[in-house]
Amino acid sequence: MNLVRAELERLSARRFVQLMVLLLVLAFAVTAATTLAGSHKPNADEMNSARAQAAEARQGMEVAFQQCLSRQNGTLPQSEMGQYFPEECSSIDPIRQDRLPIPADYLPGVFSFAGQALPLLYFLIAFLVLFGFLVGASYIGADLNSGGVVNLLLWRPRRLTVLAAKLGTLLGTVLVLALLASVAYLATFWVIGQTAGLPGQLDGDFWRSLGAVHGRGLVLVLLASALGFAIATLGRHTSAALGAAAAYAVLWELGGRLVLEIVDARRPDQLMLSSHVATWLSGRTRFYDPQVCAGSTGTGYCESFYSLNWPTALLVLLVLTGGLTAAAFAVFRRRDLI
């Protein structure tokens, strides 16, 4: 416990951590201020107009769907034959859409919490992932490089305990910070929605969906922190983690993707870490691949899409992070500290 307290003090005193927290607060303040400045509470006329436009849009979708069915049945009047309709009418069936037009869509300059909460949360998670990775890498990297770890080991000559205390302190601190930041962030925008915009439809489904993304985002932040920590431990330096991340992005996500496309590899996206990150956050991701339908006979309908689901994505992320963390502990246990 003493060791964790000492590590907590060291972590919180790091200039880099303080700078990143300042950047977080700054980004938060700028986003909130610009949202507040660009939003207003809609008056009754604006609301009525928006409701009418939304109703009209929903009705238009229903009409288009019915016309599509009529064309399929051969009952569409000749005068309406010039319109475009998809092959499969089910794709424009209003019931099957993710969302239908709502009044908030027709209120320019009005912030809708229900409509904007998810993108705002994604932005925060992206920042926190970057924060966790960089802080995790610099926390151990700088300590290894400057001799801070050696100093500590002279006091507590238990390598695994010291490294575990550092990792535990890092993850605990990042989790608490991410939790507080995200709650404060969402609460601020909720207040903006209530006072200077629209709260939107905040029903159980909305909160459940937002909570799920929030929870998955926090897990991702922790994984990124552990990953930065592990790579910097293996490479003995903060820059090892930064270099590894940059090299991975350039060589594999860009170069590898290009090569896979050239050789017509099947489902290349499932080999990319970014696909699994996106899948883990959203729960399910669809990727386009013309190869998916390459073997179909043409008699049946074939969509050139395939999906990745969150359990697979989580497994990939856990194996990668867990493997590198275990390797970091194994190497650190035997390494000469000079």
Partner 1 sequence: MSAVIEIEGLRKTFRSLRSGRRVAVDGFDLLVEAGQVHGFLGPNGSGKTTTLRALLGLVRADSGRMTVLGEPSPELLPRVAGQVGAIVESPQFFGNFTGYRTLRLLARAGGVPVSRVDEVLDLVGLHDRGDERVKGYSLGMKQRLAVASALLKDPRLLILDEPANGLDPAGIREMRDLMRSLSANGVTVLVSSHILGEIQLICDHVTIISRGRRVATGRVDEVLAGHDRHEFLVRVAEPERAVELLHAAELTAVVDGGALVVSGVSDPTVVSRVLGEQDLWVGELTPLRPDLESVFLELTGAYEHSSVPRQVGDSSLPQGEAVIDLDRGVDA
Report CA 41 to chain centroid distance, whole Å: 30
**96 is an interface residue for partner 1 by CB under 8 A:** no
**158 is an interface residue for partner 1 by CB under 8 A:** yes
Strand boundaries in the chain, DSSP class E: 111-112, 197-198, 284-288, 305-309
Which letter does DSSP use for residue 320 in this model?
H
**302-334 as b/e: b if 16+ CB within 10 A:** eeeebebebeebbebbeeebeebbeebbeebee
Binding footprint of partner 1, residue count (CB under 8 A):
25
Per the DSSP assignment, residues forming a β-bridge with 309 are 284
**147 is an interface residue for partner 1 by CB under 8 A:** yes
Nearer to partner 1, 77 or 157 (CB): 157
CB of 13 to partner 1, least distance (A): 6
CA 34/CA 41 separation, integer angstroms: 15
Report CA 131 to chain centroid distance, whole Å: 14
Using CB under 8 A, which of 44, 74, 155, 298 touches partner 1?
A: 155
**264 is an interface residue for partner 1 by CB under 8 A:** no
Q: Which residues, 6+ apart, have CB-to-CB distance to 300 below 8 Å?
A: none
Nearer to partner 1, 6 or 293 (CB): 6
**148 is an interface residue for partner 1 by CB under 8 A:** yes
Using CB under 8 A, which of 72, 146, 209, 274 touches partner 1?
A: 146
**Tokens coding 150:** 């050696």
Neighbour-count burial of 198, counting CB atoms closer than 10 A to its CB (0-12 exposed, 13-18 middle, 19+ buried): buried
Are the C-beta atoms of 214 and 182 separated by less than 8 Å?
Answer: yes
Q: Which residues, 6+ apart, have CB-to-CB distance to 210 below 8 Å?
A: 117, 118, 121, 186
**234 is an interface residue for partner 1 by CB under 8 A:** no
**156 is an interface residue for partner 1 by CB under 8 A:** yes
Choices 119-127, 141-149, 227-235, 322-330 (CB under 8 A): range interacting with partner 1 = 141-149
CB of 191 to partner 1, least distance (A): 36
The residue count for the chain: 338
**10 is an interface residue for partner 1 by CB under 8 A:** yes
**84 is an interface residue for partner 1 by CB under 8 A:** no
Residue in the structure block whose two tokens are 């490294």: 163
Using CB under 8 A, which of 13, 37, 44, 95 touches partner 1?
A: 13
Nearer to partner 1, 147 or 215 (CB): 147
CB of 152 to partner 1, least distance (A): 6
Q: Nearest CA to 214 among 192, 193, 184?
A: 184
CB of 158 to partner 1, least distance (A): 5
**160 is an interface residue for partner 1 by CB under 8 A:** no
**15 is an interface residue for partner 1 by CB under 8 A:** yes
Q: What angle do CA 316, 321, 322 make, to 5 degrees?
A: 95
Nearer to partner 1, 13 or 263 (CB): 13
Nearer to partner 1, 205 or 336 (CB): 336
Nearer to partner 1, 148 or 323 (CB): 148
**336 is an interface residue for partner 1 by CB under 8 A:** yes
**151 is an interface residue for partner 1 by CB under 8 A:** yes
- How many CB atoms sit inside 10 A of residue 245's CB? 18
Nearer to partner 1, 149 or 221 (CB): 149
Binding site for partner 1 (CB under 8 A): 2-3, 5-7, 9-10, 13, 15, 146-148, 150-158, 334, 336-338
